Chain A
């Protein structure tokens, strides 16, 4: 499984997001999975990667929370919704765990 965290320096949520990803991986017994960090440095970089905000977490290349069609590509902090409806700069830990679990199961099936 490939886990990639796309981040931009204008957002203070990178460390928190990384911790959340690592905790979710550990909970699922996947602590050995590496989290690749990729900095988005400018508008060109954002356009090339379709970056809709920091942090964006890709699991096997797929956005953990698919961006809405009208989501603006560019350097900004991403708005997530917790399961209880609260706004958050990082994904809900349950969404994170669920996406990682699904990816791990898919990887198991295709092995």
Chain B
């Protein structure tokens, strides 16, 4: 049982999805419990898998589907799942976020998509399966299939919202399909050159055959990266994101906003470090200069666009675009000459640690903020920022969690947002990329302005008492406390506790990440 944890963490929610779709048609009440059981099982197995990895001597475990193990067959025959310290942590984050959102969704799904609970929760579980599969797989083509599993389910989950959501979902389908198809095309070029689809197999052949200067490999890198950048909404390719995320049903927004882009960033890291290898990405290509600048533009543009938004959820989606800029930029921060022979990758790659750490902390921050905003919109009756007046009095716990999320986004210690910015900025200093450090600081300032404006509205803004044109927003028991139900508060409080916990355990997490980078630098052969 235990040695099958890497596959069970996908199988359990997959079967829960099947049963949800079948039993849900007859008994609607089983859907939510089944979803929670499925995701709880997934969370249990991700933790087991991570404990196994951290206990194993070389910090990675391989699981070969169908018994095509690498000792009897060449690597690449059959599909391999591999867990190491980086994706072990990402898997736990995915399962935990999905579980919390499932609990949170209890209030929203019956209201926003009435009568469609079985379909909604089946798709929800499949989305979690797809995201975990993308994270765990060590096979480039399998990654494409699971990418499409998670994309297709998220298109459907978005389109289940209002009528505006279906237009946004259509635009997302077009962009998402272009991205996934470019990725598939790039994998085809790699397959032509290396004859393997296994990520480690591709990497070993690229080095063994000395294919680093091949133009086909260059084209493959280009195609795969354009595809991945569309998927992770890297700034010039991010036009689809704000509409799709802000118009989606509340629970959908809460699961795709923290996970979809973050898993895509993980995919980018995996392709850079495992498939092409640091030797190729940082040695052969010299993209670090322009890439960091594009990331700077993404951060600034996301922050400025967020400033102009009047709608709270829409503002958060622009912040996601800025955060993606953090992570992409951090992945290219490498001190010049850092890849010289014999030198460990980590000694110069604090930026990479920052990117890995930020995947985890940004998932938690985005989750906390989206949950809080979902709950606030219920109480305020509108998603406009100016309608958030007086919310502190009405629902203090919700607002306290929102403040924790906001502080993390700004980067105040001891929340995780501070430490991820710390690692990213130290990486920028090591690499001598002052522009990146400056962009991070500017974006923190903009975040501070954005969030304090909202907090000010919610804390000092008086509920209109006597006169006022906004009389229809006035609730009968003004000033009275009417907190959200526990099914909304529990996930929200847990998410904000997680923000502080991830911050307090930053040494351990960064230690795991640097250990992961060391195995990658040594070739990562398992």
Please determine whether chains A and B interact with each other in the same assembly: no
